[in-house]
């Protein structure tokens, strides 16, 4: 009996060993018979401990094993989600009319005022004795961009076989003289340029660049429509009146111009105007005194109608210069009453300065007229030179110009006849023409802010 039990125990032991050997052999851990038991136990222990250690490691760092969605949810739950990536802000828009005057004693003026043979004595400040020439050293610097550099040859090439015509009052003539001086210095030989003046026939001043068959002209029409001040020489009358519905006498000379540059403000700055319906010579004419800006608006309506029906927009480019400011009241910039721009030597540095001589009502009237013309298919580019010119109280001729018939009182007190309306040349109108030049040569400025 004991022998049978011993045989059964030996058989079970053998079977158990066989099973353990199979396990070890399946993992390629079989060794020599003398050591296989110890080594197999060691490897079995590692096999059991290794998954346990991996599980503990993952449990201690939960973010490393969670699905991506769970990790994202966990991170976003700690605070508000980060803002989406935004594109960088666009660069500031280039507005050539918004900026400041900077002192620049290195750059030269675009021409020498004492050498320009077409200079007018009304604007020739250095010729008539102005010693302080600091006013020549200020350069207009737009915010966020630079004023395009003026190139007289490039302008003349653009004007080849064309006619550029300034129409308006004496401030438009101030600008015309400036542009002629800016251009003529690039034409050295006298035989390649010419000048003519025809007071009786259309009040024309004409400069021609012969090699380019280009003309730069000025036409005197201070109110655009007809008035009793249309004589370019004898127009200072005590009783001024205007025919707001009549323009053809002037406009017939504008028809074939390729570029028209208008202005008309200076003579409209009165509280009221005498308006005439009918002709100057007719005894049946009707006069009526009307408060401004209504007469100005009526004149602009007549001007607009003429443009719509007589100008070919595919041929002619039209500009309107905004109001040129005056500096008649020195108390506006901190001086005592009774003074004006006389003896001023520096600009006004207060940004946004606006004098009471610049009438907002007239500015709004022309802006409304231009907007209305656009709806009628006529594009007029409004060049707003008012603000940049407001700062330059130092740049007027004052007494440094040819004075026509001064009185003894004026000679005794020069401040009484100081010209604080027009501008010395070289000077501020040169900047107006640099702006005009930018718009003539670069059509992309039409898509930008025009002041």
191 is catalytic: no
Kindly provide the residue ranges of all beta strands, DSSP E only, lying in 301-444, ordered along the sequence.
317-321, 380-383
Note the pLDDT of residue 53.
60
Render the burial of 331-355: b for 16+ CB within 10 Å, e for the rest: ebbeeeeebbbbebeebbeeeeeeb
Half-sphere exposure of 386 (CA within 13 A, CB side): 24
Distance, in Å, from the CA atom of 409 to the CA atom of 150, rounded to the nearest integer, reads 43
Q: Is 302 helix (H, G, I), strand (E, B) or coil?
A: helix
Tell me what pLDDT residue 70 has: 46
Enumerate the domain spans of the chain.
2-72, 99-447
Residue 260 · residue 165 · CB < 8 Å: yes
Cα 404 to its chain centre, rounded Å, is 38
Q: Is 394 a catalytic residue?
A: no
- Looking at 3.40.50.1110, 3.30.565.10, 3.40.20.10, 3.30.1360.20, the CATH number of the domain 99-447 comes to 3.40.50.1110
Q: What angle do CA 167, 355, 336 make, to 5 degrees?
A: 130
The ranges of the chain with pLDDT < 50 are 2, 4, 23-25, 27-36, 62-77, 447-451
- Whether the CB-CB separation of 263 and 188 falls below 8 Å is answered with no
379 close to 304: Cβ distance less than 8 angstroms: no
Which position among 169, 230, 394, 419 bears the catalytic label? Answer: 419
Q: pTM for the complete prediction? A: 0.78
Please write the tens of the pLDDT for every residue from 320-369: 999 999 999 999 999 999 899 999 999 999 999 999 999 999 999 999 99
Is 297 strand, coil or helix? helix
Answer for the pair 204, 217: CB distance below 8 angstroms, yes or no. Answer: yes
Annotated catalytic residue within 250, 327, 396, 422? 422
- Would you call 170 a catalytic residue per the annotation? yes
pLDDT of residue 72: 43
* E strand intervals along 21-128: 99-103
Set 120, 169, 170, 230: catalytic member: 170
């Amino acid at each position: 009996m004991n022998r049978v039990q011993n045989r059964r125990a030996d058989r079970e032991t053998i079977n158990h060993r066989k099973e353990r050997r199979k396990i070890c052999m399946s993992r390629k851990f079989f060794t020599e018979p003398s050591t296989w038991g110890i080594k197999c136990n060691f490897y079995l222990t590692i096999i059991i401990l290794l998954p346990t250690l991996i599980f503990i490691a993952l449990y201690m760092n939960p973010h490393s094993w969670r699905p991506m969605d769970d990790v994202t949810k966990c991170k976003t739950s700690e605070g508000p989600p980060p803002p989406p990536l935004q594109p960088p802000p666009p660069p500031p828009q280039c507005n050539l009319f918004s900026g400041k005057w900077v002192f620049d004693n290195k750059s030269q003026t675009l021409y020498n005022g004492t050498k320009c043979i077409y200079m007018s004595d009304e604007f020739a400040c250095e010729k008539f004795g102005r010693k302080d020439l600091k006013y020549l050293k200020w350069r207009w610097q737009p915010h966020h961009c630079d004023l395009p550099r003026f190139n007289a040859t490039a302008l003349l090439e653009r004007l080849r076989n064309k006619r550029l015509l300034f129409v308006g009052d004496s401030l438009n003539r101030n600008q015309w003289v400036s542009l002629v001086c800016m251009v003529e210095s690039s034409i050295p030989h006298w035989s390649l340029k010419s000048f003519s003046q025809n007071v009786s026939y259309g009040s024309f001043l004409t400069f021609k660049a012969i090699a380019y068959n280009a003309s730069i002209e000025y036409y005197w029409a201070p109110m655009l429509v007809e008035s009793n001040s249309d004589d370019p020489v004898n127009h200072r009358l005590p009783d001024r009146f205007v025919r707001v519905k009549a323009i053809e006498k002037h406009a017939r000379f504008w028809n074939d111009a390729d570029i028209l540059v208008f202005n008309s403000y200076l003579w409209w700055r009165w509280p009221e105007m005498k308006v005439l319906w009918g002709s100057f010579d007719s005894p049946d004419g009707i006069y009526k005194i009307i408060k401004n800006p209504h007469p100005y608006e009526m004149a602009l309506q007549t001007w607009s109608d003429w443009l719509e029906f007589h100008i070919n927009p595919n041929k002619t480019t039209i500009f309107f210069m905004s109001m040129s400011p005056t500096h008649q009241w020195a108390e506006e910039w901190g001086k005592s009453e009774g003074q004006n721009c006389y003896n001023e030597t520096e600009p006004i540095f207060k940004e946004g300065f606006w004098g009471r001589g610049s009438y907002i009502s007239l500015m709004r009237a022309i802006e409304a007229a231009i907007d209305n013309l656009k709806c009628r298919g006529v594009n007029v580019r409004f060049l707003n030179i008012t603000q940049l010119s407001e700062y330059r109280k130092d740049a007027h001729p004052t007494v440094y110009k040819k004075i026509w018939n001064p009185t003894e009182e004026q000679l005794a007190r020069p401040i009484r006849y100081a010209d604080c309306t027009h501008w010395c040349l070289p000077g501020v109108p040169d900047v107006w023409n640099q702006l005009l030049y930018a718009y003539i040569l670069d059509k992309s400025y039409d898509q930008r802010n025009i002041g």
